[in-house]
A and B are shown apart, each in its own frame.
Chain A
Amino acid sequence: MKQLRTIKEINEKIAKGKVVVATAEEIVSMVAEKGVEKTARQVDVVTTGTFGPMCSSGAFLNLGHTTPRMRMSKVYLNGVNAYAGIAAVDVYLGATEIPETDPANSVFPGAFNYGGAHVIEDLLSGKKVLLEATSYGTNCYPLQKLEKWITLDDIKDAYLFNPRNCYQNYNVAVNLSDRTIYTYMGILKPHLGNANYCSAGQLSPLLNDLLYRTIGVGTKIFLGGGVGYVAWHGTQHNPHAPRTEGGVPRGGAGTLALIGDLKQMSPKYLRGVSFLGYGVSMQVGVGVPIPILDEEILQFTAVSDEEILAPIVDYSEAYPQGTEEILGEVSYAELKSGTIVIRGKEVPTAPLSSYPKAKEIAETLKQWILKGEFTLTEPVAALPSAEFAVNFARQPEKE
């Protein structure tokens, strides 16, 4: 396929203020109007965005050395345990960790009002957080107990490191049983009372780079309101998931591990959330720029909600029991309409992932690039991908 431009050339255009950027939502209608060839020649970058609960998130913190010095074997921040089984004063605060005093689901369904994600949000909001640490003493680290109020400024280093974000497509969760169930996909009412889905669809990063042709290790991104990077493919990354003819995964497929400096992020894009009867999670805002290097890359970004299908899964039986059974497939266009039909029944839908926030992120990233504040990067290494011959026959071609 003919290369249209390089990332270096795009960065030169960014520097000159001549770059052309469109969001992944805008590009859909542009391609429908002008066709692939013309749009590919015109647009240099497509920006994507997503804002949804991403449980596999957390932050590495270096709490700074005390006088006298301390190893810190057990560390709590506002009562939430941070993993300290690494070097002295380094900890990892996981988003879903809850205080040991939280009754969890012993009074079902538990409220899970506070956890690691809320600590991260509080730190970003400039609030004081109670640090409690204990340790055995050593010759080099004699201090054994510490209690003090700290803010993000008091923490020496803080970076977000999320092992699994940005799932490329996801399940639509429903409940076939006769009682309400409480899941990480929200409250699911009995007898197909509601259907909850969780993807920004056509705006979602990996649904705009279906075979990971531009997103790789080292790709610079929008993360939590600041600048971050793709660190690795995420846990459970599965490029070989079933795909449509157009290459769109028909369920959870690729994932990304992300990293970025927490200190420049914002509580607007990293939010602690509580799922009744399930636990704590963090809503994470991510935006990835896609350089339009050739027509195929543009065609991937032009995939619309009508062409992205998600599997409908029963979370009362099939999901917890780990069977592969699905109740059908439905497009994001149908999901966004507010109701879908399952087994002849009209079922109301809820997105969980915020489309207006995803749009805001894609738009913010677009503005950063237009203003020359954000340049694009060559990936250092590719993400594992699938051998897949994409059939673009279904795509409309108008000139």
Chain B
Amino acid sequence: MIKRKVVLRFPAAVVELPFIYTLAREFDVVANILKANINPRKEGSMVVELSAEDEKYEAAVNYLQSRGIVILPLEQQIIWVEDRCTQCGACTVICPTNALWMKRPEMTVSFCSEKCVVCEQCLKACPARAVEALYLAGE
């Protein structure tokens, strides 16, 4: 069983075709769409979680690639909005990797994105809602 979050990039020529339907019907792939967008040039992008038996997953990936769809691994990113942060520090004791930490003795919050594992615990621990999650396609 494979379960993976990926970003699909659809060229304009195929953007109107019902791929998700085909994935389900032909390949037994469960596609959980997290985010989808079609830009003004009619190119599509979709953040989707695909799960299927190993062989069927491989077959589904081959099928999508043969139709010109680019499949990229999903990378999530945590954005710390410094302007909204009120330096209360509530996130710093919740963050498991010290990516959000307090500079002392200044008592100001800092964020180190290299240490962040995108567990998203900070999102709701932050009373001022100064942390946001961003979904990006990795190259």
Q: How many A-B residue pairs have CB under 8 A?
A: 74
Q: Given A189-B93, A350-B93, is A356 in contact with B124 using a C-beta cutoff of 8 Å?
A: no
**A187 interface neighbour in B90, B107, B128, Cβ under 8 Å:** B90
Which of A27-35, A75-83, A245-253, A271-279 forms contacts with chain B?
A: A271-279
Interface string of B42-64 (1 = CB under 8 A from A): 00000000000000000000000
| A189, A193, A338 interface centre (most CB from chain B within 10 Å) | A338
Interface residue B69 (Cβ < 8 Å from any Cβ of A):
no
Q: Which of A86-114 contact B (CB under 8 A)?
A: 109, 111, 113
Could you say which residues of chain B place their CB within 8 Å of the CB of A338? 102, 104
Q: Which among A283, A349, A353 is the interface contact of B128 at CB below 8 angstroms?
A: A283
A337 at the interface (CB under 8 A from B): yes
Interface size class of B (residues with CB under 8 A): 10 to 19
A354 at the interface (CB under 8 A from B): yes
The residues of A that contact B87 with a CB separation of less than 8 Å are 354-357
Q: Which residues of B contact A274 (CB under 8 A)?
A: 127, 129
A167 proximal to B (CB < 8 A): no
Q: Does A281 count as interface, using CB distance less than 8 angstroms?
A: yes
What is the bound-complex CA distance between A337 and B102, given in angstroms? 10
The residue in chain B whose Cβ has the minimal distance to the Cβ of A355 is B107
Within 8 Å of chain B (Cβ to Cβ): is A260?
no
A196 at interface (Cβ–Cβ under 8 A)? yes
Can you sample 28 A-B contacts with CB below 8 Å?
A51-B86, A52-B88, A109-B124, A113-B129, A186-B125, A187-B90, A189-B93, A194-B93, A271-B128, A273-B88, A273-B128, A274-B129, A276-B124, A283-B88, A336-B104, A336-B105, A336-B107, A348-B93, A349-B93, A350-B88, A350-B102, A351-B89, A352-B88, A352-B90, A354-B88, A354-B107, A355-B107, A356-B87
B interface, CB within 8 angstroms of A: 86-90, 92-94, 102, 104-108, 124-125, 127-129
Which residues of A pack against B, CB within 8 Å? 51-53, 109, 111, 113, 186-187, 189, 193-196, 271, 273-276, 281, 283, 336-338, 348-357
